[in-house]
Chain A
Amino acid sequence: MIDTASIMNILADTQLLSLFTSAAFIIVGLYGAIFLDNIIKKIIGIAFIEEGANLFILTLGYKQGGVIPIFLPGMNAEWFAANSAYPLPQALVLTTIVIGASVLAVMLAIAMVLYKKHGTLSASEIFGDKKIISRNKNSTSKNRGSNNFDDVGDANE
């Protein structure tokens, strides 16, 4: 039953396609965050998960052939109400983008401290094996504690 016409229909449906895109982001991000060993890679994966979630929510407000939800003078209110995209998801996504970026910043700050402490970026060596940690003990740093408080503080604002 798959003919060119139906494929063209799907390809013309921006909403459906961007839902697929967001699903692809989330899947790739989950793969990166769960299965990859490098903690920077894990963080990149997490950035993709958040991007996928944002794209998903934004797509919900989309209207095929609609207009940007800004009411300009001279527009007919009824026509505008019938044709504009839904603005609520857009307002929500603005917030989640900023939150995602701040979580990312905190995670990167912690990743840098962990690298100083363990001398590696590998999650299995940092979290798991005690033996490997003791091998890398020489590279531990003494100045833990108050070095990245300000990062945390900034991110919370």
Chain B
Amino acid sequence: MIELVVMILAVLGCILAIMQRDLLKAAILTGINGACVAFLFQFLLSPDVALTQAIVGAAIIPVFLGLAVYKTQRNDES
């Protein structure tokens, strides 16, 4: 059952990140999504990919996005 919870969290994180007005929050939500996907990879019997995804999806991509938002603007005014 824990897979199901992780999947729902991942999809929720992804929908929330798209709907979020504050871009910094959206970046952080991307990280939650990436971490959930990393767990999901672990449940799908691939621990090595899960390690890579945990680093890339949960750390690097949110940090890149956060840096880009920090250098540009935080609010999505549209």
The answer to whether A and B touch directly, with their CB atoms under 8 angstroms apart, is yes
Residues of A bordering B, CB below 8 Å: 11, 14, 17-18, 20-21, 24-25, 28-29, 31-32, 36-38, 40-41, 43-45, 47-48, 51, 54-55, 58-59, 61-63, 66-69, 84-85, 90, 93-94, 97-98, 100-101, 104-105, 108, 111-112, 115, 121-122
List chain A residues, Cβ under 8 A from B57. Answer: 51, 97
Contact check, A32 vs B18: say whether CB atoms are below 8 A apart: yes
0/1 per residue, B23-58, Cβ < 8 Å to A? 100110010011001001101111111001100110
Residues of A contacting B73 in the complex (Cβ-Cβ under 8 angstroms): 115, 121
Range of interface residues on B (Cβ < 8 Å):
35 or more
Central interface residue in B1, B34, B78, by most chain A CB within 10 Å:
B78
A15–B56 Cα gap in the complex (Å)? 23
Known contacts being A38-B78, A48-B14, A55-B40, is A90 close to B48, with CB within 8 Å? yes
Instruction: Say yes or no: B72 contacts A85, CB within 8 Å.
Output: no
Q: Give chain B's interface residues, CB within 8 Å of chain A.
A: 1, 3-4, 7, 10-11, 14-15, 17-18, 23, 26-27, 30, 33-34, 37, 40-41, 43-49, 52-53, 56-57, 60-61, 64-65, 67-69, 71-73, 76-78
Residues of chain A with a CB closer than 8 A to B65's CB = 40, 43-44, 47, 108
